[in-house]
Homo-oligomer: A and B are copies of this chain.
């Protein structure tokens, strides 16, 4: 990404948390129209999640530059660090730091489950940059193209989503401490089985969704038992709970219900349960003018569009704290994401990139053509 941005002649900057921007023209220091996304992924993830927004942003810049298009405002592409957050929580860490929502010091100290420290890892790969926070001057606007990662556009047969906002998210890491013991000699009623409690929490989150209705999502994606052996009652367990809801009150209720269930399990099963918040973001609504712009541009290109909220978190929700922000979605085949089978047809990629280009031309004030 940095090579391509340099080859285009943009002003490339890397900040201390590894966020990358390329700005055109290189001497443009006024508030820019910013596009972009992220190039990190999850383990065994897909090729589109994040990368599409960065690559399409580079293509927008290349189109402006090669076409000799002048704009009233600079145009910049950003690639934000650690949007997934699956190794270094919270998610959207890079853009969160960029908008002042997390201190640089705190971010660089984040430690992964494997023991790695973010600041050390950035230094190791040469992306502990020299620039101060890249968004010290807020952008004029931010538009992010991304794959939907869900099934709604495909089901509706619509190529473009005008994203209205992002649901709220709550990530917790729950640690259960019981007592390791022999699986053959320990009566069931004398066990302090951390594995049973972890599994009970994991199944409870489904009950929680049933109670709160279809806007509530809940996922236990990580479970680790110790010593994790066939013939040993687990002495400890670590699991994560990912709760999401478009309604912040409902999300808070989900958190409350989970805490109540954990307290019940701790009492009933004679274990101790501790909970650490890994991420907590309220729902975000995007700038109404940005949403309307995506719709209008799509219509102008003869592309059908529909409004929809985002199920996933995105850097755009962080940028929305400091500037008008919006997003463009394109369909995900089968709604599949965070999976190597993630796929978006080329025609939708092209449609999304064209909508992004037209939004930029509008927001940046294209002088020519």
Contact = CB atoms under 8 A, between A and B. Distances in A.
Contacts of A49: 182
A3 interface: no
Interface stretch (A58-66, A201-209, A285-293, A360-368): A201-209
Contacts of A209: 188
Main secondary structure of the interface of A (DSSP, over half): loop
Interface of A: 42-45, 49, 84-86, 89, 91, 148-151, 167, 169, 171, 173, 179-190, 193, 195-196, 198-200, 202-203, 206, 209, 214, 216-235, 240, 242, 244, 278, 310-313, 332, 335-339
B242 A220 contact: no
A188 B206 contact: yes
A312 B185 contact: yes
A156 to B, nearest CB: 14
Contacts of A230: 85-86, 89, 171, 173, 219, 221-222, 240, 242, 278
B229 A183 contact: no
A230 B187 CA distance: 33
A311 B244 contact: no
A219 B231 contact: yes
Contact of A228 (B202, B206, B223, B278): B223
Nearest to A151: B190
B217 A221 contact: no
A180 B223 contact: no
A185 B231 contact: no
A336 B183 contact: no
Contacts of A335: 181, 185-186, 190
A148 to B, nearest CB: 7
A205 to B, nearest CB: 8
A221 B232 contact: yes
A188 B214 contact: yes
A110 B159 CA distance: 52
Contact of A203 (B44, B203, B313): B203
Nearest to A149: B185
14 contacts: A44-B235, A86-B229, A86-B230, A89-B230, A148-B185, A150-B182, A179-B339, A181-B339, A184-B312, A188-B217, A221-B228, A221-B229, A223-B223, A223-B228
